[in-house]
Chains A and B, each alone.
Chain A
Amino acid sequence: QVQMVESGGGVVQPERSLRLSCTASGFTFSRYPMHWVRQAPGKGLEWVAVISHDGDNKYYTDSVKGRFTISRDNSKSTLFLQMNSLRAEDTALYYCARDRGIASADYFFDYWGQGTLVTVSS
């Protein structure tokens, strides 16, 4: 069955960095665009970034452009999110989510991991 497990979250000081990972199984990872979506405590969902199935195309929400980098290793079925210059407003549960589309992104999400919590605090 499709499964995605995020890791790498934790408590970090403002302006520091953190790298999140999402290890996928149960499907051909290399065929699917992948996303990061976050949810601040007690709040709604916010799309963060997407990467094409082959890693060639990446897009970000404006608030993280220049600070976050999405990447993937298809040989290891793993998605990453490198987060630099973290701010208090980046505090959230970060989900990796599979795009429903194959090869080409549909931009909605048919499977989600359970999330990894990032807390930015001094």
Chain B
Amino acid sequence: EIVMTQSPATLSVSPGERATLSCRASQSVSSKLAWYQQKPGQAPRLLIYYASTRATGISARFSGSGSGTEFTLTISSLQSEDFAVYYCQQYNNWPLVTFGQGTKLEIK
């Protein structure tokens, strides 16, 4: 099983600033990495796939980068609606896809 480790567990950022979230895989997943946003009481929403491709309807403020074992989700100019939990997911080792434990992005 590929273990996905996200850091930090909690990130406190002020509105208007930039947030950088990290995700590390225990072995290479190539570029088969997705990011999801989950707000309280809601289902996850796909943000990014293939490490850097934004999903349909996702704001350009969200960008993804990385390959192999190190990945980053960057959210520029944070808006109030961006404060949520973010999960990374590898799908290189299908069908045993795995998620990170999540990073909670909170208002500073």
Task: Given A45-B89, A95-B43, A114-B43, decide whether A107 and B95 contact each other with a Cβ distance below 8 A.
Answer: yes
Chain B interface SS verdict (over half): loop
Question: Range of interface residues on chain B?
Answer: 20 to 34
Task: Given A44-B100, A44-B101, A45-B89, decide whether A50 and B43 contact each other with a Cβ distance below 8 A.
Answer: no
Contact, CB under 8 Å: B102 / A44: yes
Question: Range of interface residues on chain A?
Answer: 20 to 34
Interfacial chain A residues near B18, Cβ < 8 Å: none
CB interface residues, A 35-57, toward B, < 8 Å? 44-47, 50
- Assembled-state Cα–Cα distance A61/B49 (Å): 22
Contact, CB under 8 Å: A59 / B95: yes
Task: Given A105-B94, A107-B91, A108-B34, decide whether A46 and B99 contact each other with a Cβ distance below 8 A.
Answer: yes
Interface residues of A (CB under 8 A from B): 44-47, 50, 59, 61, 95, 100, 105-115
Could you jot down 18 A-B contacts, CB within 8 Å? A44-B100, A44-B101, A45-B36, A45-B89, A47-B97, A61-B96, A95-B43, A100-B46, A100-B49, A105-B94, A106-B49, A107-B97, A109-B34, A109-B36, A109-B46, A110-B56, A111-B46, A115-B43
